[in-house]
């Protein structure tokens, strides 16, 4: 991270940078192994890959938690205190210390166990999906949960065992913070969903235009065109591949890999997955190169990363202005859309319905999908729900919040990859991202009131540049609350998001 002409000439600082770079580079090797596992690896390689990932994970942990790193962090306290809080060097020391203190609480054997379980449970999850049977996955999930519980105990907590797990994804936030946010959203969204679905009952399906036959290769071509349009570099710094579950992995700012999946009967699935993952990819490509081999070379949190994906998928990609620009391009790939108007497409991509699949959920119902997962995870950690009963509890919770019941486990409890590696506390970041995306966008819109007019012309660089300067440029220097306060003037708040939802969907549905 530090160049030879850095104002910080302390040899201990330079030594710390060198040691931490080794740990980060090993972590990135693990990311590359994960990408290969998801996209390229033959099924027969699963057992060996588990050994590879466990070894790399253990080596990265050993590098970060070495006694020398601990001593250097102690020796550099005075230097840190003498520097501005937001300087690269002070932030590097501060964030490294935070990660070091967490990592040193976790025994190496638990790190190895967690990595092995992630690989093994992923393979079992794939088999369970094929069988559409949660019972196939349950033994692996029980092992994964036990390891996550041991991780929480190792990290330590005062109030709730999920607190240290939440903190790993959202530094500085707790279960209490998440519960408060969900309570506010639940109170507003549940009656709004009911009002909209009641209003829409018996009306023609606006999303019918997205259904039909949309060839696989054409969907990938239109997805690539869309992500290039918003600024994701597919030519020299990124790539788009297929996977069971869409995701993004950043090996470096110059090697960012996104994935999608294709349903030939529904063009919206792949298209919006491409925009979503490209949002993550833009964040990764926008992080300064000088942070590449340091803990600063990441987003502020999982939720802030999600704010960027939701920004491009929803605020931009589901706007009228975007479709004024992009609909003619989509028609070139799919002549069957020839008679579709911008208004038709706008209403199609903003259809509100109580659906089963999280990644295809609309903006109004999406957070209810997250709440289902969070409440079930918390019930397990609280001892109120046994994993043996998780599938049925999932179905009951869906019926309570969304009024529908999954017909099988594939469309229910088995739909997310996350529980193969991070049972407990990964999902709140999705809701945090939804909320933060509006908070950030409103600030950008205040600075550039003509953003939507620019979208209609296919001009997205003003918004991207604003995000690069105000969000991406800081990497992981700040906690999510610090970053939001710095950029928008206040910490995370649901108010802008709820106002946006009421305004947009009130106009669409007349509620």
Q: How far apart are CA 378 and CA 369, in angstroms?
A: 15
All residues at 6 or more sequence positions from 316 whose CB lies less than 8 Å from its CB, including other chains: 230, 275, 322, 455, 460, 463
Q: What is the pLDDT of residues 456-474, one digit of tens each?
A: 999 999 999 999 999 999 9
Whether residue 3 is predicted with pLDDT greater than 60 in this model: the reply is no
Whether residue 4 is predicted with pLDDT greater than 80 in this model: the reply is no
Check: CB of residue 319 under 8 Å from CB of residue 368: no
The residue extents of the domains of the chain are: 11-161, 175-509
Burial class (CB in 10 A: 0-12, 13-18, 19+), 239: middle
Polymer length of the chain: 511
Residues acting as catalytic residues: 277
**pLDDT band, very low/low/confident/very high, at 292 (cuts 50, 70, 90):** very high
**pLDDT band, very low/low/confident/very high, at 1 (cuts 50, 70, 90):** low
Give the mean pLDDT of 185-189.
Answer: 94
- The separation between the first and the last C-alpha atoms of the chain, rounded to the nearest angstrom, is 52
Q: What is the pLDDT of residues 14-42, one digit of tens each?
A: 999 999 999 999 999 999 999 999 999 99
Q: Considering only residues 402 and 202, tell me which one the structure prediction assigns the higher pLDDT.
A: 402
Q: What is the pLDDT of residues 408-438, one digit of tens each?
A: 999 999 999 899 988 988 899 999 999 999 9
Tell which phi-psi region holds residue 114, choosing left (phi > 0), alpha (psi between -120 and 50) or beta.
Answer: alpha
* pLDDT on residue 378: 97
CA nearest to 68, candidates 127, 115, 136, 22: 22
Q: How far apart are CA 454 and CA 304, in angstroms?
A: 24
* pLDDT on residue 103: 96
Check: CB of residue 218 under 8 Å from CB of residue 270: no
Q: How far apart are CA 88 and CA 283, in angstroms?
A: 18
Give the mean pLDDT of 234-254.
Answer: 95
Answer CATH for 175-509 from 1.10.1370.30, 3.40.50.10440, 3.30.1330.60, 1.10.357.10: 1.10.1370.30
Q: How much is the pTM?
A: 0.93
**pLDDT band, very low/low/confident/very high, at 9 (cuts 50, 70, 90):** confident
Angle, nearest 10°, between helix axes 88-103 and 46-64? 120
* pLDDT on residue 16: 97
Q: What is the pLDDT of residues 130-180, one digit of tens each?
A: 999 999 999 999 999 999 999 999 999 999 999 999 999 999 999 999 999
**pLDDT band, very low/low/confident/very high, at 203 (cuts 50, 70, 90):** confident
Q: Do the bridges between strand 255-260 and strand 248-252 make them parallel or antiparallel, or are there none, so unpaired?
A: antiparallel
* pLDDT on residue 281: 98
Whether residue 7 is predicted with pLDDT greater than 70 in this model: the reply is no
Please give the mean pLDDT across all residues of the chain.
95
For 267, list phi and psi in degrees, rounded to 5.
-75, -20
């Amino acid at each position: 991270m530090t160049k030879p002409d850095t104002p910080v000439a302390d040899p201990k600082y330079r030594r710390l940078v060198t040691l931490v770079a080794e740990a980060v580079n090993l972590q990135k090797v693990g990311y590359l192994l994960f990408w290969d596992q998801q996209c390229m690896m033959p099924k027969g390689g699963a057992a060996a890959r588990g050994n590879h990932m466990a070894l790399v994970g253990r080596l990265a942990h050993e590098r970060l938690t070495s006694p020398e790193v601990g001593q250097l962090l102690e020796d550099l306290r005075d230097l840190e205190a003498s520097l501005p809080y937001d300087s690269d060097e002070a932030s590097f020391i501060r964030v490294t210390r935070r990660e070091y203190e967490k990592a040193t609480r976790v025994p190496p054997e638990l790190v190895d166990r967690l990595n092995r379980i992630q690989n093994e449970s992923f393979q079992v999850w794939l088999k369970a999906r094929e069988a559409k049977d949660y019972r196939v996955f349950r033994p692996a999930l029980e092992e994964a949960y036990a390891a996550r519980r041991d991780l929480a105990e190792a990290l330590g907590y005062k109030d709730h065992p999920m607190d240290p797990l939440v903190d790993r994804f959202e530094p500085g936030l707790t279960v209490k913070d998440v519960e408060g946010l969900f309570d506010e959203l639940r109170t507003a969204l549940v009656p709004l969903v009911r009002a909209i679905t009641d209003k829409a009952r018996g009306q023609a399906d606006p999303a019918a235009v997205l259904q039909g036959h949309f060839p696989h290769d054409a969907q990938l071509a239109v997805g690539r065109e869309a992500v290039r349009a918003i600024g994701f570099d597919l030519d020299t710094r990124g790539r788009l591949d297929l996977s069971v579950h869409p995701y993004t992995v950043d090996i470096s700012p110059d090697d960012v890999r996104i994935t999608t999946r294709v349903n030939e009967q529904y063009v919206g699935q792949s298209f919006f997955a491409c925009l979503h993952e490209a949002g993550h990819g833009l964040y990764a490509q926008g992080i300064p190169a000088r942070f590449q081999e340091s803990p600063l070379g990441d987003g502020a949190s999982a939720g802030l990363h999600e704010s960027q994906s939701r920004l491009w998928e929803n605020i931009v990609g589901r706007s009228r202005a975007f479709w004024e620009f992009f609909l003619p391009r989509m028609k070139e790939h799919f002549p069957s859309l020839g008679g579709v108007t911008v208004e038709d497409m706008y209403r199609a991509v903003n259809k509100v319905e109580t659906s089963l699949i999280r990644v295809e959920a609309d903006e109004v119902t999406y957070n209810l999908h997250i709440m289902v997962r969070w409440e079930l995870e918390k019930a397990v950690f609280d001892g109120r729900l046994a994993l043996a009963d998780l599938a049925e509890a999932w179905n009951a919770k869906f019926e309570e919040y969304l009024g529908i019941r999954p017909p099988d486990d594939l469309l229910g409890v088995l739909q997310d990859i996350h529980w193969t590696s991070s049972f407990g506390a990964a999902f709140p970041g999705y809701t945090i991202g939804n909320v933060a995306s509006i908070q950030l966008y409103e600030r950008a819109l205040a600075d550039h009131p003509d953003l939507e007019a620019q979208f209609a012309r296919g001009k997205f660089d003003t918004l991207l540049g604003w995000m690069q300067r105000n969000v991406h440029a800081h990497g992981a220097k700040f906690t999510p609350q610090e970053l939001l306060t710095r950029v928008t003037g206040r910490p995370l708040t649901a108010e802008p998001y709820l106002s946006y939802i009421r305004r947009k969907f009130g106009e669409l549905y007349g509620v």
